[in-house]
């Protein structure tokens, strides 16, 4: 089940209606059953993978917490990591690594008896796998006590608002909220509905509309002019931002209606004035996961400059591979690793984004945006050859536009709303800053967003969120 579908618009009110009349323990059980149903709606067979991860990590967490034997604790942690990474590796990376290995052996006329399997990628597997691994690692490091209640832990793993595309929640943040009594007042309800409105606007009125003309250009870049290719890169940068941040807004809104707060996953990343700042604003929960469980584990910035650069590159290469089993994603991650290493080598630290004068901020901001757009080509193109074709084509035939003008104009009106919304939120450092505006402005602006959703948006299960593929 996906948010932008009619079944979800029936599912959510039913879940809330029952949830509000239940007590805490019954609420958790109800949410667990609803979350399993939410996931099984897509494919009930893959619910078993979530149940395996849940059962293994629940028992491993208890075992680690109850043991003082360092060897036993390491073995238990290894059981969790091997189980989760084996499931993730088989379903997500088997085809990629098998194909790559056979390609390497082909010049030597060697062959391996690797079966050609048509493997379906389970929805959200990368997100809930990282979430459960973070839990067992935190328990092992002594940062969090193991959960004793199986229903609470199972709900932590498969909580439906953030199950299939994040944000990736930490146990220390989400589990205490599941264990306590939750109260939902009218302000929480209004906050939740407002976030859902913002999310649907970004997804169906901006992101999906941009996709109507962006997607065909990326699928066949050789059939389009250089001007088309430039416009499509900018369009995709906005499309993926609206698609993914829109999902997060809807997830946070639904969770707020349940009295549970999810972390902010996007902080207006295209306003960043450096690549380091961009990664503090884009997909924040993944960036923090990679930093805390991979970069720091590799040594972080300890051991000298070159080791720091190496750790940045390894972290971003694996971050690229997390997004998908293709060389395009690895190259995308490698480019970002290179950007971060160069930024670090230039003497910029990662402690914070320094205040800059407006002209300097505009120049560095535009430079950062274009560096990110370059990487989006490899992220979006179907294969590496298409990425290279796209790059070459961007500098050819710049005087002709083949994208239908109507498609471009269709996205202009919602785009104005996005710019206004993001500027208000960014200037006030508050995702709910529109509530501080005069009531007349709020009424007009919210009506405008609703109008854009109704006029341009389509509730269609075939128009899935981009990050569902990860």
Would you name the residues annotated as active-site residues? 323
Q: Phi/psi zone of residue 302: left (φ > 0), alpha (ψ -120 to 50 degrees), beta?
A: beta
What is the number of residues in the chain?
470
Residue 241 CA to residue 372 CA, distance in Å, equals: 12
Residue 433 CA to residue 373 CA, distance in Å, equals: 28
Please say whether the beta carbons of 90 and 59 come within 8 A.
no
Q: Closest by alpha carbon to 160, among 34, 42, 338, 49?
A: 34
Q: What are phi and psi of 22, to 5 degrees?
A: -100, 160
Say which residue the tokens 């000298």 belong to: 304
Q: At 377, list the tokens.
A: 């080509």
Please say whether the beta carbons of 275 and 371 come within 8 A.
yes
Residue 57 CA to residue 207 CA, distance in Å, equals: 36
Q: Closest by alpha carbon to 171, among 199, 141, 147?
A: 147
Residue 194 CA to residue 197 CA, distance in Å, equals: 5
Residue 65 CA to residue 60 CA, distance in Å, equals: 8
Based on the number of CB atoms within 10 Å of its own CB, is 161 exposed (0-12), middle (13-18) or buried (19 or more)? buried
CA angle 345, 348, 350 (to 5 degrees): 110
Q: Which residues 6+ apart lie within 8 Å of 282 measured at CB?
A: 266, 269, 272
Task: Name the DSSP class of 120.
Answer: P
Residue 168 CA to residue 283 CA, distance in Å, equals: 9
- Count CB neighbours of 164 within 10 A: 27
With residue 58 as reference, give the H or E element that holds it: helix 47-66
Please say whether the beta carbons of 41 and 14 come within 8 A.
no
């Amino acid at each position: 089940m996906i948010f932008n579908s009619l079944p979800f618009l029936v599912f959510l009110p039913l879940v809330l209606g029952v949830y509000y009349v239940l007590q805490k323990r019954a609420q958790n059980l109800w949410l667990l059953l609803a979350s399993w149903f939410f996931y099984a709606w897509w494919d009930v067979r893959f619910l078993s993978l979530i149940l395996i991860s849940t059962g293994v990590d629940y028992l491993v967490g208890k075992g680690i917490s109850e043991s003082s034997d360092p060897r036993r604790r390491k073995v238990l942690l290894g059981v969790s990591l091997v189980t989760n990474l084996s499931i993730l590796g088989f379903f997500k990376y088997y085809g990629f690594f098998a194909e790559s290995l056979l390609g390497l052996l082909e010049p030597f006329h060697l062959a391996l008896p690797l079966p050609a399997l048509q493997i379906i990628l389970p929805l959200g597997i990368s997100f809930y796998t990282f979430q459960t691994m973070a839990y067992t690692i935190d328990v092992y490091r002594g940062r969090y006590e193991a959960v004793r209640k199986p229903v609470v832990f199972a709900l932590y793993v498969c909580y439906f608002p953030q199950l299939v595309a994040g944000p990736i929640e930490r146990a220390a943040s989400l589990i205490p909220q599941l264990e306590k009594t939750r109260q939902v007042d009218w302000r929480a309800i209004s906050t939740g509905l407002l976030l859902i409105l913002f999310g649907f606007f970004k997804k169906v009125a901006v992101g999906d509309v941009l996709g109507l003309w962006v997607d065909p250009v990326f699928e066949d870049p050789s059939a389009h002019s250089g001007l088309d290719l430039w416009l499509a890169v900018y369009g995709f940068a906005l499309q993926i931002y609206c698609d993914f941040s829109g999902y997060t807004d809807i997830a946070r809104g639904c969770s707020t209606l349940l009295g549970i707060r999810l972390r902010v996953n996007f902080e207006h990343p295209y306003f960043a004035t450096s690549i380091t700042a961009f990664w503090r604003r884009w997909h924040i929960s993944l960036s923090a996961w990679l930093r805390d469980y991979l970069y720091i584990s590799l040594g972080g910035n300890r051991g000298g400059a070159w080791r720091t650069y190496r750790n940045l590159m390894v972290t971003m290469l694996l971050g690229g591979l997390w997004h998908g089993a293709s060389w395009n994603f690895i190259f995308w991650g490698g480019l970002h690793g290179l950007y971060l290493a160069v930024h670090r080598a230039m003497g910029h630290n990662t402690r914070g984004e320094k205040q800059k004068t407006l002209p300097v901020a505009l120049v560095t901001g535009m430079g950062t945006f274009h560096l990110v757009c370059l990487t989006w080509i490899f992220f979006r193109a179907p294969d590496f050859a298409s990425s290279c074709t796209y790059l070459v084509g961007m500098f050819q035939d710049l005087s002709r536009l083949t994208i239908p003008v109507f498609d471009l104009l269709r996205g202009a009106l919602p785009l104005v709303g996005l710019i206004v919304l993001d500027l208000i939120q960014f200037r006030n450092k508050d995702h709910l800053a529109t509530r501080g505006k005069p009531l007349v402005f709020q009424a007009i602006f919210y009506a405008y967003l609703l109008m854009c959703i109704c006029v341009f948006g389509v509730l269609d299960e075939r128009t899935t969120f981009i990050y569902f593929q990860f």
